[in-house]
Structure 1
Amino acid sequence: MDESSLDVSVRIRRFLTKPAKERLGSVRYHFRALFTRRSATIRLPFGGKWALEESALDAQLRSGAFERAETRFVEGILRPGMTALDVGAHHGYYTLLASMLVGNRGRVIAFEPSPRERIRLEGHIRLNRCENVRIEEVALGAFPGKAELFLVEGTEDYCNSLRPPAVNAKTRRVRVNVTTLDDFLSSTGLEDVQFIKLDVEGAELDVLKGASNLLRQSPRPVFMVEVYDIRTQPWGYAARDIVRFLAERSFEWFSLEESGNPRPVDSASSSFDANLVAVPAERMFRFSETVKIRS
């Protein structure tokens, strides 16, 4: 059996181990893709391919308005050979971006617990032939175990959360596995992670609490984190608690200008509603050489 046949065999076995609902969803996705016009695939700002569907995120991508500052920032710091984690990968925008930037010598780990979202994530990885991406079908948290994930129906599918999300849309629950970042890194032997995108709809603080070993190592990764009060409120804490948690561990915080250049923010502020960047003290010198920090 040749190498390509082995690859197909592995993919078939992996498909057959999935739950029946997830297998059905995957078949539906590929059926739609087979009969969808070529015009339904667009080019992302960084050159990646994206298969459009009806979602709020896709509408932003179609208009070119999605997180331009964050995209430019990531383009400025990721280099070939680096290791990046996409925690809360959703349909894979940042997974694809990181994959193209770190290249064949680099690695990207995409964490996505939603079986529905993984269908599109896997489709985009195949569409872009990203051979350096590994998908982890788990949520990250403060402790390992199982939890209920609330899936948002309709166009706001990026608001899925382990708590009832603050959206005006119907939700349904699915049972998912949860692990900690420390346990994942220990079990895989993954070392020297340079960058983590953390967007988990309010679970950010729990993910960081489950990474105590990582946060004691040196050098620690640069984080790009969703820090929004509307996302943390269902979890019973304020977004500023995320900022203070890492500031107490010698991280410097930055907001992003439209150009992607970072600007220092006061970690003692009372509220935050933005995607922010956290840089550990030991990486600040290299970070300041890589990007232009605004005063």
Structure 2
Amino acid sequence: MTSDNYVLCDVGWIFRLSATLYRLLPRVLRNSAKIAHYASVNVAKLMPSGRAIVNTAGGKMCITPRHPADLQRAWGVWEIDLQSFIKKTLKNGHVFIDCGAHRGTYTIMASNLVGSSGKVISIEPFQDHFECLKFTAEQSLYDNISLVNAACGSTSGRAMFSEQERHIDEIGISVECVALDDVVSKADFIKIDTDGRELDILKGAKKLIQNGAQTIVEFSDFQYQSLDVLWRDAHTFMAELGCRPYVIRKDGSLGPEVYTVDEIKDRHVLFRNVNSPLENVV
């Protein structure tokens, strides 16, 4: 099976054995980030090049076997907190926006959870990831995924995108940019994982958030942004829209309301819309 210049390969017996053995580990070891990193880095060296369709916790998806993070996705240990939260909260009929979809980890999971009456809008600017994302979307049990090959921002139009730094920047190539408010009129959940420009994306989704969308943002400390400033500005903006921030725990439950940058570094934060009910979350 091919798409443009991408060929799907057979992951081979080493991958299947590693996946089986990893799933047999005691939960405390299986959920250890350090063990997952060490194991995936070393197993990835033995994997074939190319792309492959594999089973994951959310459904079948396209991965790059030589990428350690993709192995963790296949083993079911990638971002356990967010996967657990999504499994607990997404229901049949929901509309889910995957902003910064990458290869489609949450696109395929959400698609299978919201069912035929729901909808998933999956947005990814990088062509390499987008080609893989298309393969992933084809694996869904339902015809409910809309793919958008674009970046997200405060307004729709064009933006400069730096492929080297993997984020929107003043230096780079010009790409299509969309404001989420221009993509869809209603959403139940928005997931943002874009390694920069989160505040602009939130501004572009203001109407969706005001209309009840629950918003998940990953806050990571990258050299091209000040996490302190990002957190302060995002917290202030979302508070004005009636949203309170809660860190998502590993089991998918919500921690207490957070206030400081130290509490959210490298964590997924749910900006819970107090004007909209959120079921199945404790």
* TM-score bucket of the superposed structures, by smaller chain: 0.7 to 0.9
Query: What is the root-mean-square deviation of aligned Cα atoms in Å?
Result: 2.6
In the TM superposition, what is the alpha-carbon distance from 1:223 to its structure 2 partner? 0.9
CA displacement, residues 232-286 of structure 1 (integer Å, 9 cap, x when unaligned)? 617994333222321232112111222111112323x144311111111112xx3
CA displacement, residues 90-136 of structure 1 (integer Å, 9 cap, x when unaligned)? 11001001001000110000111111211000011113354100001
1:10-21 superposed matches below 5 A = none
Residue type of the partner of 2:91? R
Equivalent residue pairs, number: 241
Verify: 1:291 aligned to 2:278, yes or no. Answer: no
Structure 1: runs of 5+ lacking an equivalent: 1-24, 153-158, 165-171
Structure 2: runs of 5+ lacking an equivalent: 17-51
Partner of 2:230: 238
In structure 2, relative to structure 1, the CA distance for the partners of 1:133 and 1:62 (3 Å cut) is closer
Which residue of the other structure, out of 85, 88, 91, is the alignment partner of 1:73? Answer: 85
Partner of 2:72: 60
Which residue of the other structure, out of 271, 274, 282, is the alignment partner of 1:281? Answer: 274
How far apart in 1 are the matches of 2:221 and 2:201?
17
Corresponding residue SS for 1:95: helix
In the TM superposition, what is the alpha-carbon distance from 1:64 to its structure 2 partner? 3.2
Asked whether the equivalents of residues 189 and 215 of structure 2 are also in contact (C-alpha less than 8 Å), the reply is yes
Asked whether the equivalents of residues 103 and 132 of structure 1 are also in contact (C-alpha less than 8 Å), the reply is yes
Corresponding residue SS for 2:163: strand
How far apart in 1 are the matches of 2:10 and 2:96?
32
Partner of 1:151: 163
Verify: 1:161 aligned to 2:167, yes or no. Answer: yes
1:47-126 superposed matches below 5 A = 47-126=59-138
Verify: 1:175 aligned to 2:174, yes or no. Answer: yes
Asked whether the equivalents of residues 181 and 204 of structure 2 are also in contact (C-alpha less than 8 Å), the reply is yes
Partner of 1:28: 5
Corresponding residue SS for 1:66: coil
In structure 2, relative to structure 1, the CA distance for the partners of 1:148 and 1:130 (3 Å cut) is farther
In the TM superposition, what is the alpha-carbon distance from 1:81 to its structure 2 partner? 0.8
1:175-254 superposed matches below 5 A = 175-185=174-184, 190-191=185-186, 193-217=187-211, 220-230=212-222, 233=225, 237-254=229-246
Partner of 1:264: 256
- Calculate the TM-score normalised by the size of structure 2: 0.76
Asked whether the equivalents of residues 57 and 66 of structure 1 are also in contact (C-alpha less than 8 Å), the reply is yes
**Sequence identity (%):** 27
Corresponding residue SS for 2:168: coil
In structure 2, relative to structure 1, the CA distance for the partners of 1:213 and 1:37 (3 Å cut) is closer
- Calculate the TM-score normalised by the size of structure 1: 0.73
